């Protein structure tokens, strides 16, 4: 029997991401099935000599791992956080293992107990919702791959969408909900069979990575919006060049559903790689033009800042726009200018300043600065 250590580096990293690492759960299950001892390592201060093998996985490139850990003789590192689109896949027998949904149990118990002690003094209840992805969801991929090859995306390896696993490979009927990590489910030729299978469970489900709105058809809308969907429908509007297409699809969506939809809005990514003054100005305008279209259809934008935004002369405005748009309760109530005024009352003057400076320099921006969810007339 071997002693196996598992490190979910994104959990330990500075940002402390709170989403289970699927590869780690599969490696854990595989090793437990072999009769090995498996432990989730939650700190880099352990005695690593006690393990025969350690599997370290990370999804995010920004998550830092000490070099001394990477250099351990018994460590195996994997995941997009290390190798981006060249990340080697898990061995087939691991990839298709039923995930170990109990890998994180001890870590959750420890955190809950620690918080309970703190909250007892304040006579408050500990919120367990922060652990919902670990406790409430079956997680997996029904399909993999995407044909679009967007230059900012990690999915570059395949040129089509293909079946990855049947639901029974990761569906735990004792869990309340299902979370799918597929890259582009609407690009899969047998998408309907997947939705039928998901709906047959009677459980709520969601596609966490966002869906490709450009591929919506009337039939897809009909199935998607009558499904037992969990939370907001999430799509992406990454490129202003898709404006007319997205506009047509928004009209189609609203023929079928008035439910809340969210759209990722990528900003600060220059497809020409110039990142000059003209780009930064146009990018702010493009972002707000996309937000305007979404708000018109009562959809919520989620502005995703490509890391280059930190080099923009408008970095403060990017931050202001993201702080406004990425909180549905705010973006539904106030314009960007209102948000600046609210922030000033709380002592943050930078937000209002960033908006004002930009529209004083580019007066055409004023209409975006004052636009408001629900107040914008449809075309
Ligand atoms: S459509 Fe989505 S999954 Fe496909 S390459 Fe573009 S961003 Fe990635």
pTM: 0.91
- CA 210 to ligand 1: nearest atom: 2
The pocket around ligand 1, CB under 6 angstroms, is made up of 146, 148-150, 153, 155, 183-184, 212
Give me the percent of the chain exceeding a pLDDT of 90: 84
Measured in angstroms, how far is the CA atom of residue 144 from the centroid of ligand 1?
Answer: 11
Tell whether the model's pLDDT for residue 378 goes beyond 60.
Answer: no
Distance 159 CA to ligand 1 centre (A): 11
Span from the CA of 44 to the centroid of ligand 1 (angstroms) = 34
Beta bridge mates, 260:
none
- The confidence score (pLDDT) of residue 17 equals 84
Percent of the chain's residues with pLDDT above 70: 97
pLDDT band at residue 379 under the 50/70/90 scheme: very low
Ligand 1: which of 149, 181, 184, 213 to mutate, most ligand atoms within 8 Å of CB? 184
Please, what's the b/e burial string for 272-297 (b: 16 or more CB within 10 A of its CB; e: otherwise)? eeeeeeebbbebbebbbebbebbbbb
Report the pLDDT averaged over residues 2-13.
93
The candidate with the shortest Cα–Cα distance to 256, out of 289, 230, 233, is: 233
Residues 280-334 have pLDDT tens digits of: 999 999 999 999 999 999 999 999 999 999 999 999 999 999 999 999 999 998 9
Q: What is the mean pLDDT of residues 152-162?
A: 91
Q: In 3D, which of 30, 91, 81, 31 has the Cα closest to residue 56?
A: 81
For ligand 1, atom 3, which residue shows the shortest CA distance?
183
Whether the pLDDT of residue 119 is over 90: the answer is no
pLDDT digits (tens, 9 = 90+) for 17-55: 889 999 999 999 999 999 999 999 999 998 999 999 999
Q: How many whole angstroms from 211 Cα to the centroid of ligand 1?
A: 9
What residues have CB less than 8 Å from 354, skipping those under 6 apart? 314, 316, 317, 319, 320, 340
The more confident residue out of 133 and 85 is 133
Give the least confident one: 90-94, 111-115, 159-163: 111-115
Beta sheet of 300-305, edge-to-edge order: 233-236, 261-267, 300-305
CA distance linking residue 105 with residue 320, whole number of Å: 38
C-alpha 156 to ligand 1 mean position (Å):
9
Q: Is residue 104 very low, low, confident or very high in pLDDT (cuts 50, 70, 90)?
A: very high
Give me the residue label for tokens 């909180």.
Answer: 327
pLDDT exceeds cutoff 80 at 256: yes
Phi and psi dihedrals of 49, rounded to 5? -70, -20
Residue 241 token pair: 């060049």
Cα 232 from Cα 271, distance rounded (Å): 29
Please state, in angstroms and rounded to a whole number, the distance separating the CA atoms of residues 162 and 190. Answer: 9
Quote the pLDDT of residue 127: 76
The residue to mutate among 80, 144, 151, 153, having the most atoms of ligand 1 within 8 angstroms of its beta carbon, is 153
C-beta separation of 139 from 181 below 8 A: yes
Dist. CA 343 → ligand 1 center (Å) = 35
Give nearest CA residue, ligand 1 atom 6.
Answer: 150
Best of 183, 186, 212 to mutate for ligand 1, by most ligand atoms within 8 A of CB? 183
210 vs 274: CA distance, rounded Å: 28
The CA 347 to ligand 1 mean position distance, Å, reads 39
Mean pLDDT for the chain? 93
DSSP letter string, 183-198: S-GGGSTTHHHHHHHH
375 has a pLDDT exceeding 70: no
Q: Which residue has the higher pLDDT, 372 or 104?
A: 104
Give the rounded distance of the alpha carbon of 142 from its chain centre.
Answer: 17
The pLDDT value recorded for residue 129 is 85
């Amino acid at each position: 029997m071997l002693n196996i250590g598992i490190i979910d580096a994104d959990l330990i990293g500075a940002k402390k991401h709170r989403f289970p690492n699927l590869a780690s759960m599969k490696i854990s299950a595989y090793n437990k099935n072999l009769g090995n001892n498996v432990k989730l390592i939650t700190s880099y201060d352990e005695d690593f000599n006690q393990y025969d093998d350690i599997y370290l996985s990370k999804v995010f490139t920004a998550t830092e791992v000490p070099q001394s850990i990477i250099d351990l003789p018994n460590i195996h590192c994997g995941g997009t956080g290390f190798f981006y689109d060249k990340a080697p896949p898990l061995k087939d027998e691991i990839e298709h293992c039923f995930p170990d949904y109990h890998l994180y149990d001890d870590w959750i118990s420890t955190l809950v107990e620690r918080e309970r002690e703190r909250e007892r003094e304040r006579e408050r209840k500990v919120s367990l919702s922060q652990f919902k992805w670990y406790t409430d969801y079956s997680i997996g991929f029904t399909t993999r791959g995407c044909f679009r090859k967007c230059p900012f995306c990690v999915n570059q390896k395949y040129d089509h969408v293909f079946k990855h696993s049947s639901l029974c490979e990761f569906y735990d009927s004792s869990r309340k909900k299902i979370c799918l990590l597929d890259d582009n489910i609407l690009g899969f030729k047998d998408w309907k069979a997947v939705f039928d299978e998901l709906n047959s469970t009677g459980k709520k489900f969601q596609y966490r990575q966002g869906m490709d709105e450009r591929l919506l058809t009337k039939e897809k809308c009909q199935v998607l919006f009558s499904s037992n969907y969990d939370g907001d429908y999430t799509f992406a509007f990454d490129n202003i060049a898709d404006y007319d297409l997205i506009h047509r699809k928004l009209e189609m969506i609203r023929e079928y559903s008035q439910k809340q939809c969210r759209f990722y809005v990528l900003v600060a990514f220059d497809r020409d790689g110039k990142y000059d003054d003209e780009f930064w100005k146009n990018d702010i305008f493009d972002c707000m033009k996309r937000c305007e279209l979404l708000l018109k259809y009562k959809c919520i934008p989620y502005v995703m800042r490509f890391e280059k935004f930190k080099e923009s002369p408008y970095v403060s405005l990017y931050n202001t726009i993201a702080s406004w748009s990425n909180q549905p309760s705010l973006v539904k109530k106030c314009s960007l200018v209102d948000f600046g005024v609210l922030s000033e009352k709380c002592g943050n003057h930078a937000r209002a300043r960033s908006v004002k400076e930009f529209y004083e320099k580019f007066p055409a921006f004023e209409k975006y600065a004052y636009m408001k969810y629900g107040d914008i007339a449809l075309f």
